[in-house]
Structures are given as C-alpha cells and as structure tokens.
Amino acid sequence: MSATPPPPSVLGVAIPSPLRRLFDYRPAATPPTGGWQPGVRVQVPFGRRQVVGVVLECRATSDLPLAKLKPIDACLDATPLPADWLWLCRFTARYYQHAPGDTLHQAMPALLRQGRTLEARTRERWQITEAGADEAPPTLARAPRQAELLTMLRQHPHGLVSQAILAQSFGRDQLQALERKGLIMRLEEPLTAAAPSGGPLLAEPALPLNREQATALAALHERLDGYHPCLLHGVTGSGKTEVYLQLIEAVIGRDRQALVLVPEIGLTPQTLARFRRRFRVPVVALHSGLTDHERLDAWEAAASGRAPIVIGTRSAIFTPLARPGAIIVDEEHDGSFKQQEGLRYHARDLAVVRAHHHGIPLVLGSATPSLETLQRARSGDYRHLRLTQRASRHAPARLELVDLRGRPRRGGLIPPVIDAIEATLSAGHQVLVFINRRGFAPTLSCHACGWLAECDHCDARLTLHRQPPLLACHHCDHRQALPDACPECGSADLRPLGSGTERTEETLAERFPDVPVHRIDRDSTRRRDALEQTLAEVRRGDPCLLVGTQMLAKGHHLPHVTLVVVVNADGGLYASDFRALEHSAQLLEQVAGRAGRAAHPGRVLVQTMHVDDPNLRLLAARGYDALAEQLLEERRIAALPPFRFLALLRLEGAQETAVSELGNRAAQALRTYLGERALDVDCLGPVPAPMERRQNRYHLQLMLGAEKRSRLHEASAWLVAWLEAEPAARRVRWSLDIDPQTL
C-alpha cells in the first residue's frame, strides 16, 4: 500500500495574466522533492514569453488533448510556497473575482515573482576557534596581516560578519588561510536573527494598565485559542497601542506570531521604535521603503516563524506565518487598507477572514470605527471593548463650530480664529492648522469675467501652486504655466480663489513672523525623511505653527499642540458619495485628537459655512460615536452598506460611445440574467462616474447591490464571465470593485 498518489498528468497553473482561469501544462521536468502539489512555482512557456506561474491543481485530465499541452520548463520549488499564504490568495481571487495568477503575483515578493527561491538567505560570520584563542600561534610569524586579523577577531568572541572584516581592508585569502590553519571558523547565519530563546521577553517593562485597558486586555486573554474578533474602540490617546503590546506579549509567550497592520501613514519610525523598544525579539517591518531583498528576507523570516512580530501596511496581510497567534489592525477605518487599483482588496476584511481561518484572536482598533465594523460590534459578531479615558487625563477636546459666513478671510482664516492662534502661541504652545488642500489655492479665477482655470483632460479645476509657480491638475498630473492674462477676456486681473496649504502658510508666516511655520503636505515631504525631521523639531516643544493636510491628522503624537484649527469642514457634508460624511467625521475626530495630548487641555476650532448642519452639530456636541449611530440608522433606512452589499463595475475608454454602448449592453444582459434566475440583486446604471472625464478618458459605472453576499457574488461572477467573453469589452478597460469604498 503506497501513500503517495500517482504523479498527475496535468498541472493547472496560475499565470500572471488578467484572465480568470488556469492554464494546463504537462509536468515534464523533474518533480519537486515532495511530489507535485499546489503552491509549487514553475517556469512555463506562455505565448512567446517564459513566465513564472504557480501550480494550483494537479489533475489526471484536461479539457484539451494531453498531446496538445506544452510541457513546463522547470520546477522552481522543492516544496510548495506556504500553505496559509496560498489559502489566502485563493480566497482573495475568488472573493474579489480577480484573476488567480495576477492575485498570486501581487501577493508575493518581487524576487519570488522573478523565480528566486525562498530559502533562508544567510550571511557569513567568522569566529575564533579554541586553537585561535591561544597565545601567539607560531604559524603566523611570517604573515603579519593574518596575525592582525586574528587579533581583531580575538576582541570579538561572537565573531564578525564578512562585510565588517572586508571593510577593514582585510582580504578573503587571509580569512581562508586562517580557516585552513584551524584558527578561525566560518558560520552561516540568517539575515533576520532568530528570537532569543530563554531569558526575559521584554526589554522594557509594560506600563501598568488603567482600569479600562486592563478590562480590555483581560477580555482578549480569555480566548487566545480560537477565532475571537474584537473591536477595540478607544478615543485617541486612550492607550490602544499599549493593549496591543501586552496582547502581543501573551501571544509570543505562547510561542506564536503576531501580525500587526497599520495605515500607510502610521508606520512611522516612532511606531516601529515603540515595538522594538518593548521586546527582545526581532520585529520585522514591511513597508514600501524596503528593497526587494529586504522584502524577501522579511517574508522568509515570517514564513519560517523566526520573526515573532510582523508589522506592515496593507499588503502585509499577505505575509505567511508559520505559527499565527493574533492579528491586529490599527486604525481599522483607515482608507489606505483598501487597494484602489488592480487587485482591489481590503486588508482589514482579509484580516477578519484570515483570523477566522487560523482560529486566532483579531483586534480591530480605532477611535472612529468604520460603520461596517461598528455594526458588527453592535450586532454581537465582534466583542465591543471600549476605552473612554485618555492616558493623559484630558478628555479629547470637543469641536467648536465657527461661522464663516460674511466674515473676511485671510489665508482661509477669520479674525477670531487668528486671535485664538495668537493667544495660544503667546502662552508658549503650538498650533495645528488643518486644511485638506495642498497647493496655494484650489484654483485661479478671472475677476473680470469669472473664468476659472480648468484641466483640459479632466472635469476638474487646476490647482494654483506658488512653489514653483504653476497650475497643476491633482487628478491627472497635467501641469501648465501661469497665464499672464485671462484666456477668455484678456483681463490681467487673475486672482487665486480659496486657500490651500501654501497660502495659509504664507498668511501665517506674515502674521506671526517670529514663530516658525511648518507646512506638511505631499509637496513639502517628497524627501523621505523630511516629515520625520520636521516632527522631531516640533516635538522639542517651542511655540510653532503646523499647517498641513491629512498627513498631519493621523497617528502623530504632538504633545505640545493645544489648539487645532480646521480651515473648512464642509467638504464631506454634501458630497454625492454616501460614505463622504462618515470619512469626513472620522478625519475631523482624528484631527481633533491631536489637541491636548499631554500636559495641557486642547481646543478645536472648526470653520464652516454650515453651522446649522444637523450632522455637524451632532458631531460637535456629542462626538463621533453619536453621529455614527445616526448614520447607521440612515444607512439602514436607505439600504446601503453595512446593511447591503455592493459591487461596482467601472468602465473607461477614450471613446465615449464605445464605453456607453458596452455599459448599456452589460447592464441589459445582467438584468436579463437576474430576471431569468430570479436573483434578488439590483443593478443601477450605467451612470457617468462622479468625474466623468479624467485624463481624456470617459468613466462610466454600473452598481450591483444585494442583501445577501452570496447573491451578489453569483451575479458579479456572471457579469465578469460575460465581459470576458464579449469582444467589445476588449476595447474598453473595465474592472469590478467588490465592496467599493468610494463611488
């Protein structure tokens, strides 16, 4: 009786291509050590190219005659890629209706995509032997450089890595000579050191928890063994991170690994330093700044289990773990967890699926939970843990609404607000001015005829920049020089309309010449460390003004800021996107959370044209949670997420007619299908996208909605299959967004 199945005759391979199918090959090359299995990478001919694919099926038959199948060229792995990773990729491809090959490729490090092997990458270390430790070995009398090298290594009983030795201008031949004489030895060690075994786990003691933190941690400790999803709902500064750290301590104590996801803006050197300070084990960080080699090392360290803590942004959800113990998603409401192009996944949602699959605790942390998560906590799907107290004892400041109507503005600010800024600076504190537009002004206008500078390629205005002076489109990156006169009427009276960060910065610098003004936006922080440098200076605590976009609103601990000014709160109030208000309330609450985080209480002034808006008033009077309750009720009545599931088909092309023809035909075909199957799914559109023309391309969308996820899935799978089979769809770019975050 043999346990090994007969070798397959056909391999179903996922190829990096937009097609939602596998491609069949013959397993001609030498099989991997453990036999053919899903998850083994192969090199195969594809069209005229050679590509790296992943075996997903091992079968006896194919729809094609076996003789017609091409043989694979090579097998690239002795054993399959990690099983938990493969499972997640397959789930992701199915759930988001994305091509399996492209899903796998996007979810693996670049070097694996290129066919490199996943083995622990090592470095060399040279260490003194017992013989080498002896006094003056006689064999070195005539080799002074070798003697010097030996002396150096004697001073480093744990050895030195080759790089360090070669940097001292010793040569490889000297190392090898000493090795031959048995005086030193060569060791191979992994790049990411293993967790030290034995000894204390913590490098610095955990903070004594306050009552609420202790209750939350106790609740998490109750079930470290099964799927246990929790919303850690804590006001900004309430010590959520401390709860994560102590949960991780318990997870590592049980010899498991913790995966921590943070928003793009949140993976700062301070965050990392905080994790690294606490534990004596390696903390592996995955972010966009890594080289391909570093990324592969991190992946390998996680997959092998050597890295007990893995912390990263969105794509880190695809990190394999040998012994998963907990998943934490910090700022779970943050928009950066959703990938907006290609494979349109939501890392927070995949974290839920993954924690469920592994049977491990899941913590979703936020001061302003998404309505999706909040609803699941209210309904009992998630445990709802609350932290209402700030560690600093100052309650988060309430928003004070300031009426903008009929008042003169300078750099977007009205006189009473400027007075409040002055008072705060004279008291020796810092002020943060939040303005959600970069550039000098949202646009340029002609005072004579009312002309506005618009992008030639998009349905959008051009933003006026002063540093350097130009007009730029923030949607397509088109740039043009400033006109000398109005292109419509020839008047030279062109004026900036409204304020952006540059203009507010300029106004404040004129008004407060003795105080440094730091501007923080995408333009001022293009250099990688610019933001960190500025923040380091701000943390020293001298009075200063910070002017910035949402880059400033999130995550940063700015202990000396006691006044926060929101230049204009109105952007999200009347937007067409049903989530705009939720997102704008989250942002306002996060900005407000920057005020008064340390010794002094804070104030938050919010300028608005709509002081009577009921939503804004509710947010100001009772905070995000109260507004969220109300928004949930409205969503329930309107049958919108989280009470309904949506999918959005986006269509775009250079020819308006081609796009709308395809949109109409797809909608018609779908409606016929839904009718025949009596599927409870509705189909809205096609309608023009909110910005119909972008980069000279026309954008159209079709919305699918259903009360049951399975129905939506069935309908969208059918729609995708229809589009793939439709010749006209090849001339139009289309994509399907499951659970779209922006419409």
Pick from 174, 238, 463, 590: which binds ligand ADP (CB under 6 A)? Answer: 238
Joined tokens for residue 733: 């770019």
Q: Taking the complex as a whole, how short is the minimal distance between the CB of residue 639 and ligand ADP, in angstroms? A: 34
Contact 607, 701 (CB under 8 A): no
Residue 210 binds: one of ligand ADP, Zn ion, none (C-beta under 5 to 8 A by kind): ligand ADP
Site for ligand ADP in 92-121 (CB under 6 A): none
Residue 491 binds: one of Zn ion, ligand ADP, none (C-beta under 5 to 8 A by kind): Zn ion
Site for ligand ADP in 389-448 (CB under 6 A): 391
Query: What DSSP character marks residue 279?
Result: B
Dihedral of alpha carbons 47, 53, 57, 58, sign: positive
Determine the interface stretch with ligand ADP among 91-99, 229-237, 316-324, 690-698 (rule: CB under 6 A): 229-237
Torsion angle of the four alpha carbons 429, 434, 439, 441, in this order, in degrees rounded to the nearest 10:
-110
Encoded amino acid at 224, one letter? L
Pick from 234, 308, 572, 663: which binds ligand ADP (CB under 6 A)? Answer: 234
Nearest CB to ligand ADP, comparing residues 160 and 326: 326
Determine the interface stretch with Zn ion among 424-432, 466-474, 499-507, 586-594 (rule: CB under 5 A): 466-474
Q: Does 471 help bind Zn ion (rule: CB under 5 A)? A: no
Site for ligand ADP in 636-675 (CB under 6 A): none
Nearest CB to Zn ion, comparing residues 449 and 684: 449
- Radius of gyration, alpha carbons of the chain: 30
Joined tokens for residue 392: 């600093």
Nearest CB to Zn ion, comparing residues 413 and 471: 471
Nearest CB to ligand ADP, comparing residues 239 and 496: 239
Nearest CB to Zn ion, comparing residues 398 and 478: 478
Contact 364, 373 (CB under 8 A): yes
**Which residues are within 8 A (CB) of 385 and not within 5 positions of it... i.e. 6 or more apart?**
215, 216, 219, 220, 230, 231, 232, 233
Which H or E run includes 624?
helix 614-638
Contact 132, 155 (CB under 8 A): no
Q: Does 239 help bind ligand ADP (rule: CB under 6 A)? A: yes
Q: Taking the complex as a whole, how short is the minimal distance between the CB of residue 212 and ligand ADP, in angstroms? A: 9
Q: CB-hemisphere CA count at 13 Å for 561?
A: 28
Contacts 24+ apart (CB under 8 A), 321-324: 321/84, 321/257, 321/259, 322/82, 322/257, 323/255, 323/256, 323/257, 324/84, 324/256, 324/257, 324/259, 324/354, 324/358, 324/360
Nearest CB to Zn ion, comparing residues 427 and 492: 492
Q: Taking the complex as a whole, how short is the minimal distance between the CB of residue 527 and ligand ADP, in angstroms? A: 26
Among 199, 196, 198, 256, which residue's Cα sits nearest to residue 224? Answer: 256
Q: What gap in Å lies between CA 323 and CA 309, rounded to an integer?
A: 11
# residues near Zn ion by CB under 5 A: 15
**Which residues are within 8 A (CB) of 251 and not within 5 positions of it... i.e. 6 or more apart?**
224, 257, 258, 308, 325, 326
# residues near ligand ADP by CB under 6 A: 14
Q: What gap in Å lies between CA 220 and CA 215, rounded to an integer?
A: 9
Known binding positions for Zn(2+): 446, 449, 455, 458, 473, 476, 486, 489
Q: Strand ranges (DSSP E) for 130-183?
A: 160-161
Pick from 38, 53, 237, 496: which binds ligand ADP (CB under 6 A)? Answer: 237
Annotate each residue in 203-222 with x if it binds ligand ADP (CB under 6 A) or - if it does not, as one string: ----xxxx--x---------
Residue 446 binds: one of Zn ion, ligand ADP, none (C-beta under 5 to 8 A by kind): Zn ion
Nearest CB to Zn ion, comparing residues 188 and 341: 341
Known binding positions: 446, 449, 455, 458, 473, 476, 486, 489
Residue 461 binds: one of ligand ADP, Zn ion, none (C-beta under 5 to 8 A by kind): none
Q: Does 493 help bind Zn ion (rule: CB under 5 A)? A: no
Q: Is 314 helix (H, G, I), strand (E, B) or coil?
A: helix
Pick from 87, 91, 451, 722: which binds Zn ion (CB under 5 A)? Answer: 451
Q: What gap in Å lies between CA 705 and CA 720, rounded to an integer?
A: 15
Q: Does 271 help bind ligand ADP (rule: CB under 6 A)? A: no
Q: Does 599 help bind ligand ADP (rule: CB under 6 A)? A: no
Contact 105, 13 (CB under 8 A): no
Determine the interface stretch with ligand ADP among 24-32, 197-205, 235-243, 439-447 (rule: CB under 6 A): 235-243
Determine the interface stretch with ligand ADP among 54-62, 122-130, 232-240, 288-296 (rule: CB under 6 A): 232-240
Q: Does 448 help bind Zn ion (rule: CB under 5 A)? A: yes
Q: What gap in Å lies between CA 10 and CA 26, rounded to an integer?
A: 5
Q: Taking the complex as a whole, how short is the minimal distance between the CB of residue 229 and ligand ADP, in angstroms? A: 19
Residue 556 binds: one of ligand ADP, Zn ion, none (C-beta under 5 to 8 A by kind): none
Nearest CB to ligand ADP, comparing residues 238 and 549: 238
Pick from 77, 242, 332, 613: which binds ligand ADP (CB under 6 A)? Answer: 242
Determine the interface stretch with Zn ion among 106-114, 421-429, 457-465, 527-535 (rule: CB under 5 A): 457-465
In the numeric block, the tokens 């609350």 are attached to 386
Q: What gap in Å lies between CA 437 and CA 568, rounded to an integer?
A: 10
Q: What gap in Å lies between CA 256 and CA 275, rounded to an integer?
A: 16
CA 427 to mean position of chain CA atoms: 38
Among 154, 147, 158, which residue's Cα sits nearest to residue 181? Answer: 147
In the numeric block, the tokens 């534990």 are attached to 279
Q: Does 458 help bind Zn ion (rule: CB under 5 A)? A: yes
In the numeric block, the tokens 């003691």 are attached to 205
Determine the interface stretch with ligand ADP among 51-59, 231-239, 302-310, 496-504 (rule: CB under 6 A): 231-239
Q: Taking the complex as a whole, how short is the minimal distance between the CB of residue 446 and Zn ion, in angstroms? A: 3
Residue 705 binds: one of ligand ADP, Zn ion, none (C-beta under 5 to 8 A by kind): none
**Which residues are within 8 A (CB) of 295 and not within 5 positions of it... i.e. 6 or more apart?**
109, 110, 111, 286
> Which residues contact Zn ion by CB under 5 A?
446, 448-449, 451, 455, 457-458, 473, 475-476, 478, 486, 488-489, 491
> Which residues contact ligand ADP by CB under 6 A?
207-210, 213, 234, 236-242, 391
